[in-house]
Amino acid sequence: MGEWSTYSLDDFLMFSPQAWYRMLELHNRAWWPLQIVAAALGTGLAWAVHRRLRPALRLGLVLAGVGLLFVAWAFHWGPHAGINLVAPYFALAFGTQGLWMIGLAMLRPPLALARGSSDATTRLALALLVGALLLYPALALVWMRPMAQAEWFALAPDPTMLAALAMVLMLPGSQGLRRPCVTGALLAVVPIAWCAATGLSLWTLGAADWWLMPAAGCLAGVAAVWPAARSPVH
Amino acid sequence: MTDKLHRREWMGRVAASILSASGGMAAAQPAAADVLLRKPVDSGSFSLPVIGLGSWISFNVGDDLQARKSCAEVMRYFFQAGGRLIDSSPMYGSSQPVIGEALQLLDARGQVFSADKVWTSGDGRAQIETSRQYWGVPRFDLMQVHNLLAWRTQLPLLFELKRAGLLGHVGITTSHGRRHAELAQLMHAHPLDFVQLTYNIVDRAVEQRILPLARERGIAVIANRPFRGGALMRAVQRERLPVWAAEAGCNNWAEFLLKFIVSHPAVTCAIPATSRVEHVRENMGAARGRLPDTAQRARMAATVAAF
């Protein structure tokens, strides 16, 4: 305990902010124009959730799951592992979460958003989804970074995990699961842990937007456990 | 680099090696600004310039070709300015392959004093071989047990490799002022060539016990975190460099902080890390000119403590 108290977060960060943002830039360049495809699919998903279409939940679980798998392989296992020794563990976490979400979408009878589900939690989930898919890339401009370093759903870890968290948040209000709250809680572990981990990492890097993911995680956590939030909004 | 080459270089510059051999705080004596300051190592069988190059964070740039090119430029300037010792570790992400690539590009494998670390509880021999392949050197000039990790296993291995001629020298490292009691025990118990530890103008705990012990045992000392990971530079740069700093041989804050470290008679070299040529230029400035004397060192420490 004595020695551990001498460590700070800085001691565990092994790359510079420049290396991190350049990596995002090179990653974007390597996979262009996948960003456009992912954004288009995401927009369609957000519309489907907004309209409470029956396949929206399954579609969202699959899309977020595939996004997580892609980030696990193409980002964490790829360039991120080159500068961060723990990135392969992140790849494992993202991959497992992705497979779990895809598996859930394959269940019979199929999962679906409850008809007329318009409680506060589902609305928050929709807001997080829109944030992950459409607003997150634009944040690069807000924080005065080049658009080439923007973080896109299905390519960068934060918006992808945020979209996954949004879909998980919809599970308790869904039809087709025997214990939707338990399933939702279990599936929220990795996303919420990631929100904390990425927040700490960005804070150590001195990034202005370090608080975004932890804030989203806290909001989602509170919404999931707060019974009043499950009541329909009139 | 061979010991023979070291020795030849040292003999050629022995007149400029004004440091520790005479004992006291180094270098109140004037020294020509264009002469590289070196310190003797291994009972004087060779010497090293007082400024080396670290690679923690700064060289961990992944596959970014542009950043790798910048790192190579830093190394090019480092060698041109007379630098020799470069330090890395398997813990430093892509730093080892970045160094190896630059050494090949600069055709500098014969110039570098290669210092790396073994950082595993497992197969140290395999890890050292992987590191050697990254660097592209025939053998490491110095291999250190990183942060004392599994030293009971790795230290005997390093001595065995040294006896077999597969390593030049053996060392151990620590940082942030951790585990000094254990470090001292190891310095007493084993014929170490080098120790690496944190020493800078504000982190001075090693002055009490470790540095005198190193001197007594003839162990070369590499000082890491000379700028406290950049925090010290950011702190002092808000202030104006004192006018009297020039009398201590310091033309900028980098020289001020580095010359404080390397003017300690027990310290062989400091290893600031940077990915910018302008910074390595400033850092290498600390390897030339005069070094502060005891009184000047005290004034330097008091000045920074007052910020």
Per-residue pLDDT at B14 exceeds 60: no
Q: Which residue has the higher pLDDT, B293 or A122?
A: B293
How many domains is chain B partitioned into structurally?
A: 1
Q: Is residue B239 part of a domain?
A: yes
CA–CA min distance A85, chain B (Å): 6
Residue A223: pLDDT band with limits 50, 70, 90: confident
Amino acid at A4: W
Q: Is the confidence metric ipTM above 0.90 for this complex?
A: no
The reply to whether B33 falls in a domain is no
Residue (of A176, A152, A143) closest to A61 by Cα position: A176
Q: What is the mean pLDDT of chain B?
A: 90
Q: How confident is the model at residue B7 (pLDDT cuts 50, 70, 90)?
A: very low
pLDDT at A221: 85
Phi-psi region of A198 (alpha: psi -120 to 50; beta: other; left: phi over 0): alpha
Instruction: Place A234 in a pLDDT band, splitting at 50, 70 and 90.
Output: very low
Picking from A7, A14, A22, the nearest residue to B93 by CB comes out as A14
pLDDT in tens, B107-160: 999 999 999 999 999 999 999 999 999 999 999 999 999 999 999 999 999 999
CATH number of the domain that B186 lies in?
Answer: 3.20.20.100
- Pick from B63, B64, B178: CB nearest A3: B178
In this structure, what token pair is assigned to residue B18? 């004004």
* Residue A229 per-residue DSSP state: G
pLDDT tens by residue, A125-181: 999 999 999 889 999 888 889 999 999 999 999 999 999 999 999 887 777 777 778
**Does the beta carbon of A15 lie under 8 angstroms from any beta carbon of chain B?**
yes
Q: Do B92 and A14 touch (CB under 8 A)?
A: yes
Task: Tell me the whole-structure pTM to 2 decimals.
Answer: 0.88
Asked if the structure places residue B9 within a domain, the reply is no
Residues 88-127 of B with CB under 8 A from A: 91-94
Q: Which of A6, A19, A84 sits opposite B67 (nearest CB)?
A: A19
Q: Is the pLDDT of residue B91 over 90?
A: yes
Residue B33's pLDDT band (cuts 50, 70, 90): low
By C-alpha distance, the chain B residue nearest A23 is B64
Residue B21 lies in a domain: no
CB contacts < 8 A (A, B):
54
Is residue B286 a part of any domain in this protein? yes
Task: Identify all chain B residues contacting A76, using CB atoms and an 8 Å cutoff.
Answer: none
**Nearest residue to B157 via CA among B132, B128, B134:** B128
- Domain membership flag for residue B173: yes
Residue B30 confidence class, pLDDT cut points 50, 70, 90: very low
Residue B70 forms contact with A (CB below 8 Å): no
| A71 alpha carbon, distance to own chain's centre | 11
**Residue B57 touches partner A, C-beta closer than 8 Å:** yes
Query: Which residue among B62, B178, B179 places its CB closest to the CB of A19?
Result: B62
Measured over all CA atoms, what is the biggest interatomic distance in chain A, rounded to whole angstroms? 56
Residue B18 lies in a domain: no
Q: What pLDDT does A115 receive? A: 60
Q: Of B216, B106, B11, give the one whose Cα is nearest residue B3.
A: B11
Q: Hey, what are A219's tokens?
A: 């909001």
Alpha-carbon gap: A102 to the closest alpha carbon of chain B (Å):
31
Q: Which residue of A has its CA nearest to B177?
A: A6
Please report the pLDDT score of residue B9 as a whole number.
45
The total number of residues shown for chain A amounts to: 234
The DSSP result for A18-60, as a single string, is HHHHHHHHHHHHHHTTHHHHHHHHHHHHHHHHHTT-TTHHHHH
Residue of B nearest to A16 (CA): B57
pLDDT category, B51, cuts 50, 70, 90?
A: very high
**What residues of chain B, 203 to 262, have a C-beta less than 8 Å from chain A?**
229
pLDDT value at position B222?
98
Residue B234: domain span: 46-305
Q: Lowest mean pLDDT of A52-66, A214-228, B180-194, name the range.
A: A214-228
Nearest by CB to residue A84, choosing from B63, B66, B93, is: B93
Q: What is the pLDDT of residues B60-87, one digit of tens each?
A: 999 999 999 999 999 999 999 999 999 9
Is residue B12, in this structure, part of any structural domain at all? Answer: no
Contact: A3, B56; criterion CB under 8 Å:
no
* B174 and chain A in contact, CB less than 8 A: no
